A = this chain, B = another copy of it.
Amino acid sequence: MSFTSSHLNEPITIAILLHEGMTASDAVGPYEALRSIPGATVKFVAETPGPKRVDSGFLSLIADYALEDVPHPDVFVVCPGSPVAVPSERVLSWIRTAHETSRWTTSVCGGSVLLGAAGLLRGVQATTHWLAMDQLAQFGAIPCPDRHYVRDGKIITAAGNSAGIDMAFFLVDQIAGREIAEATQLLMQYDPQPPFHAGSPTQASPRVIELAQEFMQNWIISASTSDGRML
C-alpha cells in the first residue's frame, strides 16, 4: 500500500508478534499507523500461524506467518502475551535473531519484558505498562516510568497498550517522513479527545488505581486457572 508512486520508499518488512491470550489492540493500534508506510509489508507472526484468541475470548486475530518465516524483519513490534505466559525460548530466540539485523526493534505494553528476557535491554532506557514497571530493572534496563515511549538507539519501547499508537506515529515519521506521518494521522482522524483523563497513574485517582490493580489481579487469577480467557 502506498500514498502514490512518488512516495515509494524502499520495500520494508514489518513483523508484529501475536500470541494466544494477548490484548488485541496492543497489535492493531500500532499496525494501523505502520501499514501506511510506503513500501511496507506488515507480517503478523506467531509461534504457530493461525487464529489467536485474544484475552477477552471475544475475538481472534490471524497470524499469517510462523516466526521462522520472517527471521529478519526491518522493523518488528513485540506485543506481550497473557500476563501469566512464560515466554518460550523459541520466541526469545526469534527476538534475538531479528534484533541482530533490524532497523528498529520495538515493543508495546508488557512486550518490553520479552525484550528484557531476550537480553536486549541491559543498560537500555525503556518503558512498559505501568503495572509491569517493576519487572524492567531485573533485566538490567533503565526504567523510564514517566515516558509514554522511549527511544534508545534502535530500540523503542512504548508504555501500556494505547501508547503503542503514539510510538507508531513516531516510527512512521522516522521511516517515511513527517508529511506521510501526518497524512496517516489525518486519515485515521487521530485527534484524541478522551472524555476524561485517567490514562496514567499520575492522572488517575487512588480509587481508580486500586480498581485497575484489582482488575489486573482478577485477570491473572483467571488466566492462571482457566484457558487464559478473562470471563
Contact = CB atoms under 8 A, between A and B. Distances in A.
A25 interface: yes
Interface stretch (A94-102, A116-124, A186-194): A186-194
Given A190-B161, A192-B162, A32 B23 contact: yes
A214 interface: yes
Interface string A200-227: 1101110111011011101000000000
A143 to B, nearest CB: 15
B162 A183 contact: no
Nearest to A209: B186
Contact of A4 (B1, B43, B198, B214): B214
Interface stretch (A68-76, A84-92, A172-180): A172-180
A163 to B, nearest CB: 6
B61 A59 contact: yes
A199 B194 contact: no
Contacts of A1: 56-57, 230-231
Interface in A1-45: 1-4, 23-25, 28-29, 31-32, 35-36, 41-44
B31 A44 contact: no
A138 to B, nearest CB: 21
Contacts of A109: 189
B35 A191 contact: no
A39 B117 CA distance: 36
A67 interface: no
A165 interface: yes
Contacts of A215: 3-4, 36, 183, 187
A139 interface: no
A64 to B, nearest CB: 8
B191 A216 contact: no
30 contacts: A1-B231, A3-B218, A4-B214, A35-B56, A42-B58, A51-B51, A51-B62, A59-B61, A59-B62, A60-B61, A61-B62, A148-B191, A161-B188, A161-B189, A162-B191, A166-B192, A166-B194, A179-B207, A182-B205, A183-B204, A183-B212, A185-B198, A185-B199, A185-B204, A186-B198, A186-B208, A191-B197, A191-B200, A191-B203, A192-B194
